[in-house]
Amino acid sequence: MKIACIGVGKVGFAIADNLQKKGHQIIVANDNVDSASVQKALLRNSYFSVKAVQVAIDEADIILLAVPFAQNESLLTKLHFNGKILVDCTNPVGAGLTHGLKSEISGSECVQRWASDARVVKAYTIYGFENFVDSKFPKYNVKPVMMIAGNDKRAKEIVVEINNDMGFDTLDTGTLDQSLHLEHLTLLWVKMTRRDGHHPNFVWAYLEK
Ligand SMILES: NC(=O)c1ccc[n+]([C@@H]2O[C@H](COP(=O)([O-])OP(=O)(O)OC[C@H]3O[C@@H](n4cnc5c(N)ncnc54)[C@H](OP(=O)(O)O)[C@@H]3O)[C@@H](O)[C@H]2O)c1
């Protein structure tokens, strides 16, 4: 697939690099080709191309959003998605690792409001970027799970395909409002690792009888 990546910092690059190595075509979407993160990404993976954000969206089959949450509104409200899938990898994080929207609404529902002509799927937020660089856990007979949420069934099926390529099982948690709970799960993971010293290469698994 042709995948546009808005944001190629820690998390955006990890996902894009993993997917490029699985045969996907990555277009880095940034209006500033000279930005430090874009230049660093191009040095690390010479198969990436870079285009202006709207051009990249127009060319892509699917778009990954991996910018600081505070950038979302000004960025998204000027873009057109024409019904394309927008994978929201962003998390609203407030002071003291709290939910940045006071747990009143999920970040992904806001993303859907700002990108009203996109089909938003929440994914790739419940772990740190380390687990997108390498999602293999060879000591175990199960794959890590990627929990997703979204209102469009077909959009979620496409995200499942990408998850498979990245080495994840998928747990579809339901409609986009479930993102609020995924964002709290993120805070749990972040507090355990970044604050309390738990090893960052730990993941959740889905076991069902
Ligand atoms: N870090 C993690 O482990 C992790 C895990 C899961 C989810 N997340 C979420 O993912 C998002 C990104 O986190 P990060 O740690 O990867 O941040 P980061 O390393 O600071 O990277 C941010 C990226 O966003 C780009 N960006 C910002 N504004 C932009 C715009 N208007 N147009 C295009 N690109 C723009 C930056 O490009 P420039 O250099 O040009 O500014 C940079 O490539 C956050 O919402 C975070 O909560 C992070």
Q: For the full predicted model, state whether its pTM sits above 0.95.
A: yes
Does the beta carbon of 94 lie inside 6 Å of ligand 1?
A: no
Give the model's confidence band at 103: pLDDT under 50 very low, under 70 low, under 90 confident, else very high: very high
| Alpha carbon 96 to chain centroid, angstroms | 22
Q: How far apart are CA 184 and CA 99, in angstroms?
A: 7
Does the beta carbon of 57 lie inside 6 Å of ligand 1?
A: no
C-beta atoms surrounding 54 within 10 Å: 15
Percent of residues, the chain, with pLDDT higher than 70: 100
Distance 71 CA to ligand 1 centre (A): 9
Does the beta carbon of 14 lie inside 6 Å of ligand 1?
A: no
Per-residue pLDDT at 121 exceeds 90: yes
Average pLDDT, the chain: 97
Block residue for tokens 């469009």: 152
Spatial neighbors of 30 by CB under 8 A, at least 6 apart, are: 6, 8, 37, 38, 50, 52, 53
Return the pLDDT at 152: 98
Does the beta carbon of 71 lie inside 6 Å of ligand 1?
A: yes
- Whether residue 156 contacts residue 121, with contact meaning beta carbons closer than 8 Å, is answered with yes
- In the DSSP assignment, the letter for residue 75 is H
Does the beta carbon of 128 lie inside 6 Å of ligand 1?
A: yes
- Whether residue 85 contacts residue 155, with contact meaning beta carbons closer than 8 Å, is answered with yes
Return the pLDDT at 206: 95
Return the pLDDT at 135: 87
Amino acid identity, residue 98? T
| 19-68 pLDDT per residue, tens | 999 999 999 999 999 999 999 999 999 999 999 999 999 999 999 999 99
Mean pLDDT value of segment 124-136: 93
Cα–Cα distances in Å, from 62 out to 4, 130, 170? 6, 23, 18
Per-residue pLDDT at 134 exceeds 90: no
Distance 47 CA to ligand 1 centre (A): 20
Distance 69 CA to ligand 1 centre (A): 8
